[in-house]
Amino acid sequence: MSAVVTIIRRELLAYFTTPIAFVFLVVFLVLAAAFTFYLGGFYERGIADLQPFFQFHPWLYLFLVPALSMRLWAEERHSGTLELLLTLPLSPWQAVLGKFVAAWLFLGLALLLTLPIWLTVNYLGDADNGRIFSSYLGSWLLAGSLLAIGSCMSALSRNQVIAFVLTLVASFALMLTGLPMILNIFRGWFSQFWIDGIARLSLISHFGGFQRGVIAWYEIVYFILMILFWLYATVVVLKTRRVG
Amino acid sequence: MLEARSLCKSFGPIQAVKDLSFSLEKGTVLGFLGPNGAGKSTTMRMLTGYLTPTRGTALIQGHDVQSDALAARQCLGYLPEGAPLYAEMTVRQFLTFIARMRNIPAAEIPERLGETLERLSLTEVACQTIETLSKGFRRRVGIAQALIHDPCVLILDEPTDGLDPNQKRDVRRLIQSMLDDKLIIVSTHILEEVPALCNRVMIIANGQLQADDTPQGLLETSRYYQAVTLQVDDSQAAASALSDLPEAARIELKHHELTVFPREGAELLPLVTKLAEQYQWKVHNLRLEAGRLDDVFRRVTTGLEA
Ligand SMILES: Nc1ncnc2c1ncn2[C@@H]1O[C@H](COP(=O)(O)OP(=O)(O)O)[C@@H](O)[C@H]1O
Ligand SMILES: [Mg+2]
């Protein structure tokens, strides 16, 4: 456990001693605001809620999470520090978990920095704070899932650009499986049972419940399982590389 | 203390290491030699648990590097090839990170850090980020992270590669100062540093162990061992006189220097000096050869004479 904590501390230090943290947080906040106020029509709607804010989170994460996750392993492999890290007395699981949790906490911080918008809606009107809380939670879980995908993709390559693109594609695919447009494509070939299965995998549809203010334990379990699956895949990729 | 049991490693069709077995005791400084691509780094990566052997295994202090990996790694310090470091950290931050990972109790870390910085003359740059350091300093940081937990087995992959002659000497001195009760494995393809540094030498080529001896023992297998090299005004005349010696097996002229090779067990030096006096040669240079490692290295790794 202490090894994981040590890794988390080192990773967070790396974010804040390089321009990564600053650039990421600024871009995240600016884009979140732009989406909310211009595309979402925050004021025009005349409703005191954060629906316009949260509805764009999946699209914000689609580009920003891969940008954060691409360095996780690709950079270590490229600079050779992976060899240093993996020959320290810790298991690959601890390394994978430590790096993931650090990045996830960092995304959590980015979300926390959007709290002024929550204060704003409370000032403007009578906001449903339970719903806002569940949306935040869902958003963070969604970000974690995309991050875990990115962790695995980053372990696959020593090239960060490749890691970015792979993560983008994989995330896009996993997000879109829930859209009717995509489901209609499958409808010709699969029975309703499979269509439901595919739809159920979709990240966006699981985020939907949280946005409506419902915190269902099975939705949380879904995201946690999604994260664990991709972290496990990361461990497998790292071990495979070790075999050569 | 460290035992390799028929280590093999293949990368697809490439057999990088073929059936390597050896066992090493403490107090040994092993020079691990071989041409580029011989499999030195691959072997070290298997010993440190970074690569999984295709077959075979290794034991460090009785711990199997695969089934008991964490315990094995705990007694190990490792400097990977090229000394990779987290460039954005300061020296102090980096070494603190390593110390924590090495399970040094938090209360002891400041003291241990101070000692290590002192020992590697890093104190003055402790607060600098690693990316701003010169190559010599960076290499020392790499060595510092390998020995901060005072491991009993130290594995250094080309610790002097790419350094200038002064830095190389510093690193060699450092390694010598650490010997006391450790086992140190140093890979290199720089032969000059071997006799000064190591008390055992292994040469590998194409993933196979080709020679395993003391530096002196290896020098004695050199064809230059006990040969006499001299430089005289009239090389031709001297060569013909020397070739009449029954003890001389062979004579070579290279760069205006004559080298006389002895027959098995013969002592040439007194005979050559006697001849020189007898014929009144103007001798500019005369020396007894101790053997040449580059010659042994070439013979062992390519099967050709130098
Ligand atoms: N990850 C790898 N994938 C494929 N081949 C490799 C890999 N690592 C090393 N090799 C090959 O194994 C051989 C030994 O390499 P290495 O151990 O690095 O040699 P050395 O350190 O003695 O120069 C070389 O032919 C090298 O190309
Ligand atoms: Mg090498």
What confidence tens digit (pLDDT) does each residue in B145-154 have?
999 999 999 9
Class of residue A212 by CB neighbours under 10 A (exposed 0-12, middle 13-18, buried 19+)? exposed
**Closest Cβ–Cβ partner in A17, A86, A89 for B74:** A89
What confidence tens digit (pLDDT) does each residue in A197-228 have?
777 778 888 888 888 888 888 889 999 999 99
Choosing among A72, A77, A84, A93, which should be mutated to test the B contact, i.e. which has the most B CBs within 10 A? A84
Q: Residue A244's pLDDT is what?
A: 67
Q: Residue A43's pLDDT is what?
A: 67
The token pair that represents B5 in the structure block? 């049991």
Residues of A in contact with B101 (CB under 8 A): 3, 6, 88-90
Which atom of ligand 1 is nearest to B158's Cα? 21
**Closest Cβ–Cβ partner in A17, A88, A243 for B52:** A243
Q: Residue A48's pLDDT is what?
A: 65
**Closest Cβ–Cβ partner in B48, B52, B84 for A81:** B84
**Closest Cβ–Cβ partner in B73, B81, B145 for A89:** B73
What confidence tens digit (pLDDT) does each residue in B193-218 have?
888 888 899 999 999 999 899 988 88
Which atom of ligand 1 is nearest to B207's Cα? 14
Q: How many CA atoms lie within 13 A of B89 on its CB side?
A: 21
Three-state secondary structure call for residue A90: coil
Q: How confident is the model at residue A16 (pLDDT cuts 50, 70, 90)?
A: very high
B77 forms beta bridges with B154
pLDDT at A139 over 70: yes
Q: Residue B212's pLDDT is what?
A: 92
Nearest CA to ligand 1 atom 3: B11
Q: Residue A42's pLDDT is what?
A: 67
**CATH architecture under which domain B2-219 falls:** 3-Layer(aba) Sandwich (3.40)
The string over A103-117, giving b where at least 16 C-beta atoms fall within 10 Å of a residue's C-beta and e elsewhere, is bbebbbebbeebeeb
By the CB criterion, residues less than 5 angstroms from ion ligand 2 are: B 40-41, 81
**Which sequence spans correspond to the domains of chain B?**
2-219, 228-289
The sign one gets for the Cα dihedral B73, B75, B81, B82 is positive
Reported pTM: 0.89
pLDDT at B306 over 60: no
Q: How confident is the model at residue B100 (pLDDT cuts 50, 70, 90)?
A: very high
Contact A74, A237 (CB under 8 A): no
User: Residue B228 C-alpha to ligand 2 middle, in angstroms?
Assistant: 36
Test B10 with A244 for CB contact under 8 angstroms.
yes
What confidence tens digit (pLDDT) does each residue in A160-189 have?
999 999 999 988 888 877 677 777 777 777
| ipTM > 0.85, yes or no | yes
* Beta carbon pairs, A and B, within 8 Å: 73
Q: How confident is the model at residue A52 (pLDDT cuts 50, 70, 90)?
A: confident
Q: Residue B157's pLDDT is what?
A: 94
Q: How confident is the model at residue B244 (pLDDT cuts 50, 70, 90)?
A: confident
Pocket test for ligand 1, best of B11, B45, B46, B50 (most atoms within 8 A of CB): B11
CA distances from B71 to A131, A217, B60, B61, B287 (A): 49, 39, 9, 9, 52
**Which sequence spans correspond to the domains of chain A?**
2-243
Judged by average pLDDT, the poorest of A10-24, B195-209, B229-243 is B229-243
The token pair that represents A158 in the structure block? 């020593």
Ligand 1 binding residues, C-beta < 6 A: A 244; B 11, 14, 16, 34, 36-42
Q: Residue A79's pLDDT is what?
A: 93
Contact B234, B284 (CB under 8 A): no
Q: What mean pLDDT value characterizes chain A?
A: 88
Pocket test for ligand 1, best of B9, B42, B45, B190 (most atoms within 8 A of CB): B42
Contact B169, B199 (CB under 8 A): no
**CATH architecture under which domain B228-289 falls:** 2-Layer Sandwich (3.30)
Q: Residue B272's pLDDT is what?
A: 81
Choosing among B47, B54, B85, B88, which should be mutated to test the A contact, i.e. which has the most A CBs within 10 A? B88
